[in-house]
Amino acid sequence: MSRVYFAAARVKDYRKWWVPEGSMIKKIERLFFAAGFDTLFGSGETVGLKVHMGEPGDVHYPRPIYVAHIVDIVKELGGEPVIIETSGLGWLAGRVSAKKYLDAARKNGFCKETLGAPIKIIDGEMGIDGIKVRAGERGEDVHVAKGIEDLDALIVLSHATGHVQAGFGGAIKNLGLGLVTKTSKYRVHYQGDLNIDPKKCDGCNKCVESCPTGSIARRPVEIIQDTCVQCNVCLDICDKNAVKAARETSPKELCERIAINAAAVVKFFDKIGYINLLMDVIPHCDCHPHSDIPIVPDIGALASFDPVAIDRACIDLINKSPAVPGSEAENIGAPGSTADKFADKFNLINPGTDWKTQVLTAKALGMGDQKYVLEEI
């Protein structure tokens, strides 16, 4: 059974306006120490803080002030913090490359000046620089973002959200999609090689010019499988719908693959600190270029060394919470007004998704325990 620490978003007495301890920033600080994250690193060691800084247009990503405060704590303890992230899969407009992501992050309020630490996109300029690690029961290749090797310690700050394919996104997803290269992101979403359909291709060569590895021949336009790294850029960029993967993964496979990728990432550290923010819980992930209204009121934050337990506790708290009126949780009939009913908001909001597989696979791969003790600070 794993220990998960919880800080509620509500202040105890809002009339006591002068009490800074009621601030969520201070509560995250208390979570950090209660969970023992100060034991993760020593003086002079490099501490990666993994955070998704939001696709342009998303307005519900984690607030930079939380990251900045964790940066301050790490510095006070003698560590050297660096904010780490990877580029998005394929040709996502705002985060296709390190350069684009850093620009998007700056517009969303994340930069060295606001955070007090540098931001590094650790899978290279085009999101394809990785280290191959075997993980999962069948020993699958996972391409972990190369810069992970430069870190002495890791703290993963995750925004709890729904997800249109995975059902739920928290710590496991932040590891399993957020710290791998485009190649392993592709293998979460698709199976098999990418190919070009000559009947649909008009020879515009947009894909040829955008391929980061020069893996598309011009005449005839076709993918050179030996050098293709499955970054998905050609599939996204082709507006003739000529590029196709063999098939899309099912929600169950997708969740298994996220967990397998996550299991590869955790191999780099003895222990990782996880903080999940149960605030602005939107029905989809921060990769969308928009954000819907939150599905539940702000609940608070969790901290743990166990990614399985923290995600499970997070899902339970959200499912127990009333729905926000007018939100997708209310629209789909989650009995939000009756907080004692364990309606699975995530499966209801994104039908056919299967977050349980994510949690169960991570548990089966030795990443943690679904059973937890919640300790409120």
Instruction: Give yes or no for residue 53 binding ligand SF4 (CB under 6 A).
Output: no
For residue 108, count other CB atoms closer than 10 A to its CB: 22
- Burial string for 43-52 (b: 16+ CB within 10 Å, else e) reads eeebbbbbbb
Per CB under 6 A, 7 contacts ligand SF4: no
Instruction: From 303, 316, 319, 307, select the one nearest 363 (Cα to Cα).
Output: 307
Stretch that binds ligand SF4, among 57-65, 200-208, 288-296, 352-360 (CB under 6 A): 200-208
CA dist., res. 181 & res. 360, Å (int): 24
Closest to 341 (Cα-Cα) out of 364, 307, 318, 308: 318
Least Å from the CB of residue 126 to ligand SF4: 9
Q: Pick the closest to residue 176 from 303, 266, 262, 256 (CA basis).
A: 262
Q: Does 320 bind ligand SF4 (CB under 6 A)?
A: no
Question: Of 108, 161, 184, 215, which one interacts with ligand SF4 (CB under 6 A)?
Answer: 215
Geometric angle at alpha carbon 315, from 347 and 363, rounded to 5° = 95
Q: Does 238 participate in binding ligand SF4 (rule CB under 6 A)?
A: yes
Stretch that binds ligand SF4, among 8-16, 235-243, 297-305, 333-341 (CB under 6 A): 235-243
96 forms part of the interface with ligand SF4 (CB under 6 A): no
Establish if 201 lies at the interface with ligand SF4 (CB under 6 A).
Answer: yes
In this complex, which beta carbon is closest to ligand SF4, that of residue 137 or of residue 193?
A: 193
CA 340 to the chain's CA centroid: 29
Hey, CA dihedral for 153, 375, 261, 350, is it positive or negative? negative
The region that residue 57 occupies, defined by phi over 0 for left and psi between -120 and 50 for alpha, beta otherwise, is left
Q: Is there binding between residue 207 and ligand SF4 (CB under 6 A)?
A: yes
The answer to whether 61 touches 52, Cβ cutoff 8 Å, is yes
Contacts with ligand SF4 by CB under 6 A: the residue count is: 27
188 makes contact with ligand SF4 (CB under 6 A): no
Does residue 205 bind ligand SF4 (CB under 6 A)?
yes
Contact between 364 and ligand SF4 per CB under 6 A:
no
74 touches ligand SF4 (CB under 6 A): no
- Closest approach of ligand SF4 to the CB of residue 22, in Å: 49
- Which stretches of the chain bind ligand SF4, using CB under 6 A? 194, 196, 201-207, 211, 213, 215-216, 221, 223, 228-234, 237-238, 240, 242-243
